[in-house]
Structure 1
Amino acid sequence: MHDFVFDLARSVSRSDSAREDHYQSRYLVLNSSGVEAEVNLNDKFTSVSTLDWLESVMPGDILAKFRYLRILRLLSVTSEVLPSSISKLIHLRLLEISYSRIRALPESICKLYNLQTLIILESGDQRIGMELPKGMRNLINLRHLSFFTFDSELQMPKGMGQLTSLQTLQFFNVGKGKGRTIGELGCLKNLRGRLQIRNLELVNGKEGAQQADLLKKPYVDDLGFQWGSGNREDDNDENVLEGLQPHPNLHSLRIRNYNGGRFPKWLMTMAVCKNSMDASSSTRLNKLVKLRLRYCKMCTEVPALGLLPSLQFLELKGLENLKSIGPSFYGSADDYCGLRSSRNSGELSSNLFPALKTLKLVKMPNLIEWLGVEATPTGDGNEGLRVFFPSLEDLNIKMCPKLTTAPSNFPILKKLTIEKMDQLLPVKQICSNATTLNDLWIKGMPELTCVQDVLTKQNLEWLTLEDCPNLIDIQGCGTSLKKLDIINCEKLSELPEDLHQLQALETLNVMQCPNIKSIAIPSGQHGIKFLRELRIVDCSGLKSLPAEMLHSRTSLSRLAVKRCSNFESFPIDLQQTPSLVTLLLSFCPKLTTIPKGLNPLSCLRVLSIGPFPDLRLEAELLSALASSSVRALTIVGWPHSNSLPEQLQYLTAITLLRISKFGSVETLPDWLGNLGSLERLHLIDCEKLRYLPPMAAMRRLTKLRFLSIADCPLLQESCSKSERLKISHIPTILIDDERVDLTQL
């Protein structure tokens, strides 16, 4: 916590904070080792009602001293076991365990009969989930169990249904045997918010699923249904999902690994009927906002969702057997039977997918066609036609390689993402009337040769073309372009002739385009006025950048030329780019000149250079930066480089230094200790490096807080022996990305 914020919080809660002269403290924070805590803990603090224990070990019996606690938060504690003495805290109402090493809760916690809230937060990289105590059913006053894990094999404690006061239960793993079936959820009448139900393959048919009684849980507004990934009988999955009908108040629904061939009626737009009187609004999911159907591999038809009035987000992913998205997706004729009465009551719009803003079609290898619907009368006696996707702004189609056709009516589409599609026609159809499109990303499309084949009426602001091996022409993207990314387009040999006319362009990235030979800027033109970032990476055919391109580019803040094997010259005066913050110029082995005007760059903070074919270039560049404001420096050498450039010692303002690929350097120079501002040091791929600077030099690096050593085998060995004392003062040490405790070396 920032000091100012901490002081403010302390002043606000002064009457309840633990202080040496205040005997009626109600709030105590401990951040010391267990032994120190026991020594310093006075009786006057044992009556606190709120205790935060931070980042330290807890002695086994210390909690027994706080008999009046109502709130206990254990935040990043290093103990692996929660002391059993916690059972003495009979007044405890809230227990939070966040980002700790504790992997299981003791059974003694089940004696906390007054506990109302149990919060367990785990870090994202936690591989072993927390285990809940077997006797949790005894916590009869528990209202909130805020705990989530992705582990579907975790067994729920038996008898969870006895926690009748429970309101928050983020997941329930269905198990085998009495006390672990889905029927336990049926007793939890007060559940609300999010609930994910997993292992549904263990549920016995529709009647078994109905025991969860979801239809009578109006406050559960976010549901997830998940089956295991194994093969099962389709009929059972269909019956189970039919029995899991939720309350109409549902806002979000996720269905994963469902093996049924069709979806239940309750998921459709409305009950299928011949008589509008049969279409009961009480069973419609009219409040559903988000729907995700993932890996429902046996489904051959998507549910009719077109008249859901509130649906804003829809994802269809991994429906491997789906071949066609047709009229039934929007709603059959029977679905319209109650439309007039519904519209009169304000429940439904006459448009199809009236509120849908985002649609994702992902990983459907057999999808061949996506059909629209013919224009149909509104049916209310008024003139006009029913519109579909009137609100769609973001359309994402990925890994649907066989798709050959798509609708062409997207009146306000703004963003289109296409990835791994063999046919160009669907993209043409989508773009044909999408005049509002301003963001286009196409990846993995071999049929794309010219951008103008896709774009006809658009004036884009963002365009990304990636992995298009036959692309040869990118003209026609409009004059409003702000960001242009061209990545791995093998046949592209030139950028647009009118590149200089893209006066709104702020970012230009050209990467992995080996046949681009030059970037043409007509004589007399002064490049791109508002360019902020220019990156040229892995373009082996490019030999130089035109000086006109960066002439008077006062807004340019980032310039990178990397891994361009034939790049020779840099005829640019960086005095024309006074706002430059980052300069990356590396792995260009034929470079013979460096940029001019480095010395006056007062804004330059990040620099990456080398290796250069002529070591004098490196020295010249570093000399030009002697009085610069560079704070982060990466310097790369050749494998035969046997020393670091001496000019480096004069960059005393740098706080981060990366030294990479100096293959013949055995010892770092003692002048490295002159870098008194250095906070982070990275040593990378220096195979002969064995010794750090002398002890005296290392001790002069008083601000050094982080040392990383990677692919330096000899130095790694030395750090466990002769070099150990030299780095003992550095708080954080990583060797090959693993944190090292020097006391264990």
Structure 2
Amino acid sequence: MCWSLQALLDFIGSLSNLSKLDLTYCESLQALPDSIGGLSNLSALYLSHCLRLKCMPSGIGKLSHLRTLPVCVLGDKNNCSLRELSSLNLEGKLYMKNLENVKNVKEAKEANLKQKQGLETLILSWNLDAYQKPGEASSEKINEDGKNVQEIVEALAVQDRDVDTELIEDVLENLQPHVTLAVLKIEEYLGRVFPRWLMELAVPNLAKLTLKGCMRCEILPQFRLLHNINKLELNTLLRVQCLPALGQMRSLRILKLYVLPGIKCLSSEFYGGDGAFPALEDLDLACMPELEEWSRTAEVLAMYPDDELFLSSLQSGAFPNIDRPEMKFRVDRMISSLPPVLSGVSMPRHRGGDGTDPYSQGSSLKS
């Protein structure tokens, strides 16, 4: 770990017996030498938290012994491309950054992810700011301008990004992982639909799934048919207006719902039937400004439209593992009443304007 390291000397490519190169937390590292393709015995290359590394050089595909590549920073046609992953028998985790640099579907297909049985965790990431038009503020700048969450959501929603929707969708369609994949995260994807392999649940062994910043997608998969998922996070999905029957996910222990401005009501469809959420232990909810009610059978708790967090009845049969709930929430005004089932529950209330970030922890309901 060397925070000040900006570049590696070109001679490193002559270290033909080097088997492991760990550059984790080299936050100032801006480039890797082209000679890195000469490390013929390299089996592990660690680049996590190399924040200034914009791309990797071509030649990664020559590293025939490479098994561990937790981060792959894609570049343009003269740098590392997806096709270089084709012959690599990668294992463990693969975080593919800058997928906006993939300019044709063939390149995505040649990555051959579907045959990489050793991969357990896959993160597929685009950079939203790569699509911004001249004069538009970057997503990072929007977040730094002191706006509240609602203002940030509105600013992101109205941006007219220069996007080849068909290309983006086709690229993701051809990045289908092996059926044994356990952890999947898709972030800042600007297609309008999720890939067929996710919608048709062709990744049956998923245990953890995160969909974050997929701001143009409207329809979500039927998660309840993914029987092994124990953690699900839905974050900054601006056009989703209806959630599927999450209550019927029999293994789900952790559910995080953040920045879903299109959700106005959590009704019976959210539960999907009796005995909902049989394994749930941790429920986090935040920044759903249009939500007005969360119903369970006859009980409905109406909320102020500007309440970011909300409470619900815990009627018999739902949330059986949340025995002594502690609810933490930050709102602009006190909620006037609670349903009877929550009487006696300790619920510390935090107001905005106290110098703390009102959205830093979301809202939580946990045992």
- The TM-score by the shorter chain falls in which range? 0.7 to 0.9
Structure 2: 5+ residue runs without aligned partners? 132-160, 298-302, 356-367
Structure 1 equivalent of residue 240 of structure 2: 322
Q: Which has the larger radius of gyration?
A: 1
SS of alignment partner, residue 235 of structure 1? helix
Question: Which of residues 135, 143, 147 is equivalent to 2:35?
Answer: 135
CA distance in 2, matches of 1:200, 1:408: 41
Q: Tell me, yes or no, if structure 1 residue 440 matches structure 2 residue 327.
A: yes
On the 8 A contact 1:139/1:163 being kept in 2, the answer is: yes
Structure 1 equivalent of residue 279 of structure 2: 391
CA distance in 1, matches of 2:183, 2:214: 17
Over the aligned positions, Cα root-mean-square deviation in angstroms equals: 3.1
Q: Tell me, yes or no, if structure 1 residue 286 matches structure 2 residue 170.
A: no
Structure 1 equivalent of residue 219 of structure 2: 301
What amino acid maps onto 2:169 in structure 1? E
Compared CA separation, residues 160 and 323, structure 1 to 2 (3 A): same
Compared CA separation, residues 322 and 368, structure 1 to 2 (3 A): same
On the 8 A contact 1:152/1:173 being kept in 2, the answer is: no
Q: How does 1:62-461 map to 2 (within 5 A)?
A: 98-99=1-2, 101-122=4-25, 126=27, 128-129=28-29, 131-149=31-49, 151=51, 154-178=54-78, 180-188=80-88, 190-229=89-128, 230=131, 231=161, 232-268=163-199, 270=201, 284-325=202-243, 329-330=244-245, 352-373=248-269, 387-406=275-294, 408=296, 422=306, 427-429=311-313, 436-444=323-331, 446=333, 448-450=335-337, 453-454=338-339, 456-457=341-342, 459-460=344-345
Compared CA separation, residues 447 and 118, structure 1 to 2 (3 A): same
CA distance in 2, matches of 1:136, 1:420: 58
Structure 2 equivalent of residue 645 of structure 1: none
Structure 1: 5+ residue runs without aligned partners? 1-97, 271-283, 332-350, 377-384, 410-418, 470-486, 489-745
Structure 1 residue 386: deviation in Å? 6.6
Deviations 1:679-724 (A, max 9, x none): xxxxxxxxxxxxxxxxxxxxxxxxxxxxxxxxxxxxxxxxxxxxxx
Compared CA separation, residues 304 and 205, structure 1 to 2 (3 A): farther
On the 8 A contact 2:279/2:319 being kept in 1, the answer is: no
Q: How does 1:619-698 map to 2 (within 5 A)?
A: none
CA distance in 1, matches of 2:295, 2:196: 26
- Count, aligned residues: 315
TM-score of the superposed pair, with normalisation by structure 1: 0.39
Structure 1 residue 161: deviation in Å? 0.5
Structure 1 residue 159: deviation in Å? 1.4
TM-score of the superposed pair, with normalisation by structure 2: 0.76
Structure 1 residue 434: deviation in Å? 5.3
Compared CA separation, residues 465 and 375, structure 1 to 2 (3 A): closer
CA distance in 1, matches of 2:97, 2:307: 38
Structure 2 equivalent of residue 70 of structure 1: none
Structure 1 residue 299: deviation in Å? 1.0
SS of alignment partner, residue 290 of structure 2? coil
Structure 1 residue 180: deviation in Å? 2.2
Percentage of pairs with the same residue: 27
Q: How does 1:458-477 map to 2 (within 5 A)?
A: 459-460=344-345, 462-467=346-351
Structure 1 residue 459: deviation in Å? 4.8
Deviations 1:47-95 (A, max 9, x none): xxxxxxxxxxxxxxxxxxxxxxxxxxxxxxxxxxxxxxxxxxxxxxxxx
SS of alignment partner, residue 400 of structure 1? coil
Structure 1 residue 449: deviation in Å? 2.1
SS of alignment partner, residue 403 of structure 1? coil
